[in-house]
Amino acid sequence: MSKLYLIGAGPGDPELLTVKAVRLLKECDVVLYDRLVSAEVLRLARPDAERIYVGKHEGEQEITQQKIFDLILHHTRLGKVVGRLKGGDPLVFGRGAEEWALALEHGIEVELAPGISSAVAVPGLANIPLTYRGVSRSFAVATAHCQEDREQDWACYAHVDTLVVLMGVKNREFVARSLIAAGRRPDEPVAFIERATLQDEKVVESTLGAVAAGEVEAVSPAVFVIGEVVRLRERLSNQLRATTNFASR
């Protein structure tokens, strides 16, 4: 029986997949996977499953999305189980809900395996908590990518304690300038967490003002974190190292 599985691949490290995600991957006849899905995660699919890369590139997002819709319909009409494997969580800026709606419109059964969103997991794994008593009581997640005819209203994020921006590397200067214009402090600490959870992960720390001035280099994919919680990274990293050293004695 044909079926569509929306599967969250998490931020990259295969150990961060849910048990359900691994189980569903092994049931798929076809796996449609994104650019941010690591090779280690993809290897968890059934050996004989057809793997189709559907990663999106700048300027081709709408064309690629239509191709994804077509592939879902084509393979499910052949009676296959299709796994739509997305980095992070399928419903967090991944257009997973649109694919869900399309499937339902065509009578295709859908099952969701939520993924660990990079917006929440990546800062924590880099020793940056999104909330901390006396420092941050709230956080918000925004995307720097919007529809061509719509612009992000950065003013609504001016007073959020911790702001996480996904897909924000390319437009980081504009985002930083917009946030400063909306009222955030230029000296507010920020961090770019590149290639999160993978062996070549890198964390770049700076200030919002330096990013706005074009003084901060960052490489995509990266999670952009803005807020006073970034200052806690050194303290929590030192504590983690101390605990690790003590445990190894």
Per-residue pLDDT reduced to its tens digit, 182-221: 999 999 999 999 999 988 999 999 999 999 999 999 999 9
Which CATH number do you get for residue 126?
A: 3.30.950.10
Tell me: cis bond preceding 123? Omega within 30 of 0 counts.
no
Share of the chain above pLDDT 90, in %: 82
The alpha carbon dihedral of 135, 10, 206, 147 has a sign of: negative
Q: How many domains does the chain have?
A: 2
Choice among 96-100, 108-112, 143-147 with the minimum mean pLDDT: 143-147
Q: What is the Cα–Cα distance from 49 to 36, expressed in whole angstroms?
A: 19
Q: Are residues 104 and 163 in the same domain?
A: no
Annotated active-site positions, please?
34, 56, 167
Please give the backbone phi and psi of residue 242, each rounded to the nearest 5 degrees, phi first: -65, -40
Query: Do residues 125 and 104 both lie within one domain?
Result: no
Say if residue 56 is in the same domain as residue 131: no
Does residue 62 share a domain with residue 28? yes
Q: Which domain holds residue 202?
A: 119-236
**Quick one: 83 and 129 in the same domain?**
no
Over residues 223-234, the mean pLDDT reads 97
What residues contact residue 100 under an 8 Å CB cut-off, 6+ apart? Answer: 4, 6, 110, 112
Whether residue 7 contacts residue 21, with contact meaning beta carbons closer than 8 Å, is answered with yes
Q: Which CATH number does the domain housing residue 26 bear?
A: 3.40.1010.10
Q: Could you tell me the two tokens for 82?
A: 């299709």
Instruction: Specify whether 154 is located in the same domain as 200.
Output: yes
- Looking at the fold, whether 90 and 146 belong to one and the same domain comes out as no
Which of 58, 91, 116 corresponds to the end of one domain? 116
What is the per-residue pLDDT across 126-172, written as a single tens digit (0 to 9) for each? 999 999 999 999 999 999 876 544 678 899 999 999 999 999 999 99
* Residue 158 confidence (pLDDT): 93
For residues 200 and 154, membership in a common domain is answered with yes
CB 162 within 8 A of CB 138: yes
Q: How confident is the model at residue 247 (pLDDT cuts 50, 70, 90)?
A: very low
* Residue where a domain stops, chosen among 84, 116, 148: 116
Query: Is 249 within the bounds of a domain?
Result: no
Share of the chain above pLDDT 70, in %: 90
Question: Per the domain annotation, does 243 fall within a domain?
Answer: no
Exposure string of 74-104, with b = 16+ CB inside 10 Å and e = fewer, is: ebbeeebbbbbbbbbbbbbbbbbeebbebbe
How far apart, in whole angstroms, are the C-alpha atoms of residue 214 and residue 176? 10
Question: Which residues lie across from 166 on neighbouring strands?
Answer: 143
- Choose one of 116, 139, 154: the last residue of a domain: 116
| pLDDT one-digit tens code per residue, 4-48 | 999 999 999 999 999 999 999 999 999 999 988 989 999 999 999
DSSP class per residue in 20-35: HHHHHHTT-SEEEE-T
Residue 244 belongs to some domain of the structure: no
User: Within this chain, do residues 91 and 166 fall inside the same structural domain, yes or no?
Assistant: no
